[in-house]
Amino acid sequence: MKINLIVLLIVLSNILFAQSSDSIKARAIFDWITDNIEYDIEAYQNNKVSWVQCDVENVLKTKKAVCEGYARLFQKMAQDSGLECKVITGKAKTFGFGDQAWNAVKIDSVWRLVDACWGAGGYRGNRFIKSKNLFYFFTPPEKLILTHFPDFQEYQFLKNPITRQKFFGSENTGYSPVMYTLLLAEVSDYSYAEMIAMNVVTGYGRAVITYDPATKKYLVYSGQFTSEKEAIEASKTVENCSVKKLVK
């Protein structure tokens, strides 16, 4: 892969100087990427995602990327700092199942999972909202598998890997949209909705904020479920929430 080595060396020298621990190196790289790279919302929303958003040199130049661009940049920076790192591809749960790429980096002989894309923030409308989420740095495999399903079973890094049917649900083997979610809040102020979304940890995926023009309120959702029973069971772990059926 051709890359602007001068730019890369400057980046690496700034974030890795005087840092010897592999975990500190990985965290420094994660911090730099999530602080400096924005999700390319325009390309995603206009269905114009191509190799450009995944090319490391272009990502460094534009400071924009999609998930694979984040993962490839993390891999290149990790490898150039002496770390063994892989790009993992697969499917991720949001309000459906979409393509996703993330990383596995070897730290002290143990593979650790990182998703710098989801760790960088989210978006509102057509604007990227920078909001670092450390949950996606060294995420335990048993937690990441709730939302990320790799193409190859070995990259689950689980002693007892889960099946494709369990992840996607018996009714959703064709990656059709999930049916139920948790409504965590219905508020008038976006900043309050964002605060709720940032602080909610259910173990069932990240929170998503939507706007309902009918009620003029912001709705905070979290979780993806293939049956009402499963959603209701999950709702018992979150205070003051209700289960809603998604409108397809």
Question: Residue 212 and residue 219: Cα distance in Å, rounded?
Answer: 7
Region 44-63: mean pLDDT is: 83
Q: What is the pLDDT of residues 194-232, one digit of tens each?
A: 777 776 655 555 677 777 777 888 888 877 666 777 777
Alpha helices, DSSP H, located in the chain: 5-16, 22-36, 41-45, 56-62, 67-80, 116-120, 141-144, 164-168, 190-199, 228-235
> How does strand 85-93 pair with strand 97-107?
antiparallel
Q: What is the pLDDT of residues 106-160, one digit of tens each?
A: 998 999 999 999 999 876 656 788 888 899 999 999 999 988 999 999 999 999 9
Average model confidence (pLDDT) across the chain: 80
C-beta separation of 147 from 203 below 8 A: no
> How does strand 85-93 pair with strand 64-65?
unpaired
Return the residue matching tokens 């995603």: 44
Look at 113 and 242; give whichever has higher pLDDT. 113
Structure tokens that stand for 206 in this block: 């990240």
pLDDT given at position 175:
35
pLDDT given at position 57:
92
From 27-36, 73-82, 127-136, the region with the lowest mean pLDDT: 127-136
